Amino acid sequence: MAKAKKNNEEIRLKASEMTWEGAQRLAAVIVQDAVEEYREYSKKLKALKWKAKNGLIKKDRKYQELLERLKGQIYINKRFFFSRTCSLICTLDPNWIVETIDEEVKRYDPSRSFK
């Protein structure tokens, strides 16, 4: 539940006190956070694979666990974009969201952080 601060006191807002604009802003932040997480985890996954391919890290159990964890986080975010919840709070096409981020990640060059 949303909280507001007033004179160093926390005041809980009731759902009935939320304005339409406030609800829209909240929805936008929720979707934006999911987009940022999807982008971040996708780039981390690409960087991890690049490091393993170039011999900077071993493909050991720790690598496999991190690889699976990143894939799991990507899956969770992708699943959110196609969820009923997301369709209720966002009018963007989930395919467009995923394709746009995936295109950005394709252009991402993990080697640039080592130059």
- Percent of the chain at pLDDT exceeding 90: 76
The predicted structure's pLDDT at residue 58: 95
Under 8 Å between Cβ of 81 and 94: yes
Taking only the tens place, the pLDDT of each residue in 41-85 is 999 999 999 999 999 999 999 999 999 999 999 999 999 999 999
- Choose among 14, 39, 34: nearest CA to 90: 34
- Burial (CB < 10 A; 0-12, 13-18, 19+), residue 91, is exposed
CB of 18 closer than 8 Å to CB of 27: no
Q: What distance, in Å, lies between the first and last C-alpha atoms of the chain?
A: 45
Percent of the chain with pLDDT over 70: 90
pLDDT band at 115 (very low <50, low <70, confident <90, very high): low
pLDDT of residue 1: 42
